[in-house]
């Protein structure tokens, strides 16, 4: 029940704002913030109540929705989706606070689409029913379309149409895949009952994978990201980079790997080079971007290349690292966009060449920017390093692909330092000209926006234990499903035992269903 509350509370907020729109800007912002914070607090309940010993789905609610179609309102979370839900509920209030006075026209519309977006995203992460998953996946596009389309920059229409069409093309493929699965799962969309090898699983894998690869974005499908980011309002970019990109990687780990393990193994030699190219290519192109937001966008391509590499390493450390890296990327890139947004509000320009010597004029801003930059290039002691290290180390030690890819990916770490520090130097250091001198430093509100993110950046870097322990079992289950041969290493047997338990869980559910059908016949 708790999970449904978390998912639909923002929707409640949307309705509340729609009704109370007349009360003026501060009321709207107040409601939005309260709803955002409330959702976050309620979602903390999920965190405390989460049982880390089993890998099965928790907080499961299953209500009949459209029995005729074989779909049901079936939601639940496990170690992986728990963190993504928390990331979403954490980032949304931060964004609402960050967009406090940056939105002039249509504030109510802005807040309503932000909260509707949150519901869509939470739905995607919790849906255990393929039909429900697709509904949320598509519904999440609409508010994003408005966010970029109405409150965006100059070329916003081009950018938002490109973004929506690109994702729709992908999800069309996925719909075909879902339907194929529907028929092979004796007419039911339920994810938990889906098991066993499927016919032409390679095509199905591709159908799902391309849809998610576009969202990630993986190398050849990434050209919508820089346009979408440049034209999106600050908060839109934060949510887009912070959470929307994770839907792709979440989809891979929830659908592609467990359902089609053999196809995943077969396609690894195709996907991993793309990921590595993404890392190197993203970094190199980011280096030469004149526009700050485009630079950060391309850096996201590079970071998420790491995540995909980790996902296909079929190694507990690699996959755990990529799940953690999803959260880290959400925090550090979200923070970067917030900071870029802040100087954009002051200077109304995103061109790196317009800045210089900000460290002198805005010391607090410079220090926060420095910490976030270091987290993004993966300095040990901050969150970026933990994720990247686990991915690289996982895929090197027992990766399902040759070590050259890991060497190239590790080279990506150098390039990350190159483009971020070069940007940092051009923006922060150097001489301060008159226009930049007048820029005021961060005010209290902006600092309050940044503090929680910095707290998590340092916490995950120094003591990632609580984060890793929560997702350990779920990742273990995914690893056993993906690995056709048993997990290597002394902990392999231990993973197998308790996943037996998990599999029995799903097995039992399946047997009951079969007996039920037998009676009805």
Partner 1 sequence: MTIELIVVLLVAPLIGFLINGLLGKWLKGNEQLSGWIGSLAVLVSLVCSIIAFASLHGGAAPFDETLYEWITGESFAFNIGFRVDALTSVMLLVITGVGFLIHVYSIGYMHGDEGYTRYFAYLNLFVFAMLILVLGNNYLMMFVGWEGVGLCSYLLIGFWYEKQTATDAGKKAFIVNRIGDFGFLLGMFTLFAAFGTLDFASIFEAAEADNFQKVFGASTLVIATLLLFVGAIGKSAQIPLYVWLPDAMEGPTPVSALIHAATMVTAGVYMIARSAVLYNIAHTGEVVAWIGVLTAFFAATIALTQNDIKRILAYSTVSQLGYMFLGVGVGAYASGIFHLVTHAFFKGLMFLTAGSVMHAMANELDMRKMGGLKTKMPITHWTFLVGALAIAGFPFLSGFWSKDEILHSAWGSSPIIYVIGLVTAFLTAFYMFRLIFVTFYGESRVEPDVDSHLHESPPVMWVPLAILAIPSALIGLLLGWGGHESWFHHFTKSVFPEAHHDASGNVILFMVISSIVGLAGIAFAWSRYRERTPSDEPTNALHRLLANKYYVDEMYNALIVQPIKNGSHYLLWRIVDNGIIDGIVNGVGTIIRFIGGTLRRLQTGLVQVYIVSMVLGIVLFLAYYLFFT
Residues binding partner 1 (CB under 8 A): 162, 166, 220, 222-224, 281, 284-285, 287-289, 316-317, 320, 357, 359-360, 374, 379-381, 385-386, 389-390, 392-393, 396-398, 406-407, 410-411, 413-414, 417-418, 421-422, 425, 428-432, 463-465, 468, 472, 476, 487-492, 494-495
Q: Are 429 and 357 in contact (CB under 8 A)?
A: yes
CB of 487 to partner 1, least distance (A): 7
CB of 35 to partner 1, least distance (A): 34
CA dihedral 509, 202, 262, 268 (to 10 degrees): -130
CB of 386 to partner 1, least distance (A): 6
Q: What is the Cα–Cα distance from 249 to 324, expressed in whole angstroms? A: 12
Q: What is the Cα–Cα distance from 148 to 170, expressed in whole angstroms? A: 20
Q: Which residue lies nearer to partner 1 by CB, 130 or 285?
A: 285
Q: Which residue lies nearer to partner 1 by CB, 66 or 288?
A: 288
Q: Which residue lies nearer to partner 1 by CB, 439 or 509?
A: 439
CB of 425 to partner 1, least distance (A): 5
Strand partners, 66: 71
Q: What is the Cα–Cα distance from 453 to 457, expressed in whole angstroms? A: 6
CB of 363 to partner 1, least distance (A): 8
For 209, list phi and psi in degrees, rounded to 5. Answer: -65, -40
| Number of Cβ within a 10 Å radius of residue 285 | 19
CB of 414 to partner 1, least distance (A): 5
Provide the token pair at 361. 């004029």
CB of 506 to partner 1, least distance (A): 21
Residue closest to 225 by CA, chosen among 329, 337, 301:
301
Contacts 24+ apart (CB under 8 A), 23-28: 25/107, 28/107, 28/108, 28/111
Q: Which residue lies nearer to partner 1 by CB, 20 or 418?
A: 418
Query: Dmax over Cα atoms in the chain, in whole Å?
Result: 83
Phi-psi map region of 197: left, alpha, beta (phi>0 left; psi -120 to 50 alpha) = beta
Q: Which residue lies nearer to partner 1 by CB, 70 or 357?
A: 357
Q: Which residue lies nearer to partner 1 by CB, 73 or 422?
A: 422
Q: What is the Cα–Cα distance from 243 to 120, expressed in whole angstroms? A: 11
Q: Can you list the alpha helix ranges (DSSP code H) found in 99-197?
A: 107-126, 130-139, 141-151, 156-184
Strand partners, 62: 74
CB of 112 to partner 1, least distance (A): 30
Q: Which residue lies nearer to partner 1 by CB, 9 or 487?
A: 487
Q: Which residue lies nearer to partner 1 by CB, 20 or 284?
A: 284
| Number of Cβ within a 10 Å radius of residue 491 | 11
Q: What is the Cα–Cα distance from 130 to 321, expressed in whole angstroms? A: 26
Q: Which residue lies nearer to partner 1 by CB, 203 or 418?
A: 418
Q: Which residue lies nearer to partner 1 by CB, 143 or 282?
A: 282
Tokens 């800045």, located at residue? 355
Q: Which residue lies nearer to partner 1 by CB, 96 or 423?
A: 423
Tokens 């609610």, located at residue? 61
104, 256, 272 from 430: Cα distances, Å: 34, 48, 40
Q: Are 383 and 332 in contact (CB under 8 A)?
A: yes
| Number of Cβ within a 10 Å radius of residue 226 | 23
Q: Which residue lies nearer to partner 1 by CB, 348 or 490?
A: 490
Provide the token pair at 378. 């993966």
CB of 407 to partner 1, least distance (A): 6
CB of 334 to partner 1, least distance (A): 22
End-to-end CA distance of the chain: 33
CB of 394 to partner 1, least distance (A): 8
CB of 511 to partner 1, least distance (A): 29
DSSP strand pairing (58-66 vs 71-77): antiparallel
190, 259, 261, 480 from 181: Cα distances, Å: 10, 10, 15, 21
């Amino acid at each position: 029940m708790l999970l449904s509350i978390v998912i639909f509370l923002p929707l409640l907020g949307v309705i509340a704002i729609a009704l109370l729109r007349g009360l003026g800007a501060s009321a709207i912002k107040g409601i939005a913030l309260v709803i955002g914070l409330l959702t976050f607090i309620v979602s903390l309940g999920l965190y405390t109540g989460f049982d880390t010993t089993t890998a099965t789905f928790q907080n499961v609610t299953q209500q009949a929705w459209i029995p005729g179609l074989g779909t049901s309102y079936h939601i639940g979370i496990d170690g992986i989706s728990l963190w993504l839900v928390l990331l979403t509920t954490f980032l949304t209030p931060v964004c609402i606070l960050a967009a406090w006075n940056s939105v002039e026209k249509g504030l109510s519309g802005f807040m309503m689409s932000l909260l509707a977006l949150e519901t869509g995203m939470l739905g995607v992460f919790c849906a255990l029913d393929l039909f429900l998953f697709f509904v949320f996946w598509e519904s999440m596009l609409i508010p994003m379309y408005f966010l970029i389309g109405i409150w965006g920059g100059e070329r916003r229409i081009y950018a938002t149409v490109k973004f929506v069409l690109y994702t729709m093309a992908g999800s069309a493929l996925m719909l075909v895949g879902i339907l194929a699965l529907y028929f092979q799962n004796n007419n039911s969309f339920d994810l938990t009952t889906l098991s066993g090898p499927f016919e032409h699983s390679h095509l199905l894998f591709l159908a799902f994978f391309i849809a998610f690869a576009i969202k990630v974005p993986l190398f050849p499908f990434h050209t919508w990201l820089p346009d979408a980011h440049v034209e999106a309002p600050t908060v839109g970019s934060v949510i887009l980079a912070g959470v929307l990109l994770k839907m792709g990687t979440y989809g891979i780990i929830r659908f592609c790997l467990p359902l089609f393990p053999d196809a995943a193994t077969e396609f690894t030699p195709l996907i991993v080079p793309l990921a590595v190219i993404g890392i190197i290519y993203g970094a190199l192109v980011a280096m030469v971007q004149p526009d700050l937001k485009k630079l950060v966008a391309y850096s996201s391509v590079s970071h998420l290349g790491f995540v995909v590499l980790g996902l296909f390493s079929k190694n507990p450390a690699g996959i755990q690292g990529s799940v953690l890296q999803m959260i880290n990327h959400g925090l550090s890139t979200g923070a970067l966009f917030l900071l870029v947004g802040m100087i954009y509000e002051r200077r109304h320009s995103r061109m790196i060449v317009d800045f210089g010597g900000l460290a002198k004029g805005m010391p607090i801003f410079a220090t926060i920017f420095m910490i976030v930059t270091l987290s993004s290039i993966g300095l040990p002691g901050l969150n970026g390093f933990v994720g990247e290290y686990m991915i690289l180390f996982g895929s090197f030690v027992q990766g399902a692909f040759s070590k050259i890819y890991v060497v190239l990916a590790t080279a990506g770490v150098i390039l990350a330092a190159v483009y971020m520090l070069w940007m940092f130097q051009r923006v922060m250091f150097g001489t301060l000209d008159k226009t930049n001198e007048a820029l005021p430093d961060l005010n209290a509100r902006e600092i309050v926006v940044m503090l929680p993110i910095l707290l998590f950046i340092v916490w995950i870097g120094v003591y990632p234990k609580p984060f890793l322990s929560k997702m350990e079992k779920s990742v273990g289950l995914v690893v056993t499903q993906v690995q056709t041969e048993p997990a290597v290493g002394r902990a392999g047997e231990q993973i197998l035992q308790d996943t037996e338990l998990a599999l029995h869980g799903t097995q039992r559910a399946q047997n009951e269903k079969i007996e039920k059908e037998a009676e009805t016949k």
